[in-house]
Structure formats: C-alpha cells, structure tokens
Structure 1
Amino acid sequence: MSQITRIKGSHRAASLVIAGSAVTTSGLVATAEDAVDIRAQTRSVLSQAEALFSRAGLRKSDITRVQIWLADMADFPAMNEIYDAWVDPEHAPVRACVGAALANKHYLIEIQVYGYQPD
C-alpha cells in the first residue's frame, strides 16, 4: 500500500502531496510582495514550486506536468519569457496554459506542478 505524505500549506489544502511516486502541488500564486506584474508573479510561483519539490527531495527534472492559469491571456508572452528561462529544455515537462478568472483580482497567474518521485 502506498504511503501519502503531505507538506502542510493551510487548513484548506496541503502545499504538496506525495502519493506513491506521484507528486503534486496545490495551485500556487504569488506572495503579496511579488504582486508587481506578471513577470514577478511568474518568478515567485515557479520559485515556490521548485522549493516545494526540493523540500521533498526532488529536482526540477522530476517535474512531469505544469498547469498554468492566466487571468489575462495578453500576459502569455511575458509569462513565457520567465517560464522559458526557468525550465530545463532537456527535462521539459508537458504543459497546459489557459485563461481563467482567478480567486483574487491581484492574482495574475496560478500554477500547479506535477511530478514523479524516482525509486
């Protein structure tokens, strides 16, 4: 039987869950001090995702899927500028990006990251 490990987030949701070899973050948004623009928010969220994976003993190369929600699809090129500098082309995950109304008007981006924990 697989063990489930949860890295605490809030009372509502874990920040990261490891279930067997599957790893997933909650939907990550920028911190208040990083709410300047889409570039800053994208950096903030990707940094959080990488830190969570690192805390679980994983690397960026263990990321298998990235789901991105943008409040405004006009931010797609600027977001991609930051994402492309962050992602390792040798271990690029699959990715989806859609426009969506986010939970707070200050959130420009939300990202959920999925991965695989090697044996």
Structure 2
Amino acid sequence: MSIKRIEPGARMSGAVVHGNTVYLAGQVGEGATVTEQSKSALAEVDRLLAAVGSDKSKILQTIIYLSDMSTFAEMNAVWEAWIDPKNPPARATSQAALATPAYKVEFVVTAAI
C-alpha cells in the first residue's frame, strides 16, 4: 500500500495518506485566544482534509491538547460549532505543554478518505 505525503517539510508533513486513511500533523492556529486559535486550526484541518478528498464528516478520531484545561469550555464552543453533528468522531482532550508558549490548543486528526 502506498504512502502519500502532503506538504512535506524538514520535520514533518502536513498530512500523510496511507490506504484510505489520512493522518494530519498537529494543527495549531493563529490568534491570542483559544477561540481564535481553535477557529484557525480547524480551518486548516478543513483545508488539509479537502486536499486529500476528505472532510470533517469522515473524521475518525481527534486528540486535542490544551495548554490550560481552564479553557476547555472555550475550545468546546468552537468545536461544537464546527464539527459535523451527525458524524462526531472519537475524541480525547488533555492538558499538555505545547511547542511554544504562544500555542494554546492543538488538534491531531485521523480521518477516512
């Protein structure tokens, strides 16, 4: 089975397709708040999924990292407005130190094509 790398860089690819599954790198967004960063990151998830012929209705699993769990409700408000309510994926959310202090939220997505 072939492997296709989408937007490969020095450290990682934006997405990797193997068979009928796409794995997205952790997506972080721009902005000062969890709301802004969540909206920005999820827009990038939409873009990457579209690039491989998928969409959010085909997300199998999402892992969400928050730099501070006190922003859980703020992130969830964005998530609930964005996600396909008829096709919610399996999901886990935890607190973690992210790559830089500016990052407040990161989404790791696996989806079907």
Indicate the TM-score class for this superposition, using the shorter chain for normalisation. over 0.9
2: CA distance, partners of 1:9 / 1:51: 15
Structure 2 residues without counterparts, runs of 5 or longer: none
Percent pairwise identity: 34
**Counterpart residue identity of residue 67, structure 1:** I
**Counterpart residue identity of residue 65, structure 2:** W
Residue 9 of structure 1: how far off its partner (Å): 4.1
Secondary structure of 2:73's aligned partner? helix
Match of 1:54 in 2: 50
Match of 2:80 in 1: 84
User: Quick check: which one's strand share is greater?
Assistant: 2
Secondary structure of 2:60's aligned partner? strand
Match of 2:107 in 1: 111
- Report matched runs for 1:1-119 at 5 Å: 2-30=1-29, 34-117=30-113
Give me the TM-score of the superposition, normalised by structure 2.
Answer: 0.96
Give me the TM-score of the superposition, normalised by structure 1.
Answer: 0.91
Residues 39 and 9 of structure 1: is their aligned pair in 2 closer, same or farther, counting only changes over 3 Å? farther
Aligned-residue Cα RMSD (Å) equals: 0.9
Deviations 1:43-78 (A, max 9, x none): 011110111000111121111111100000000000
2: CA distance, partners of 1:110 / 1:6: 20
What is the number of equivalent residue pairs in this alignment?
Answer: 113
Residues 106 and 9 of structure 1: is their aligned pair in 2 closer, same or farther, counting only changes over 3 Å? farther
Moved segments of 4+, more than 3 Å: none
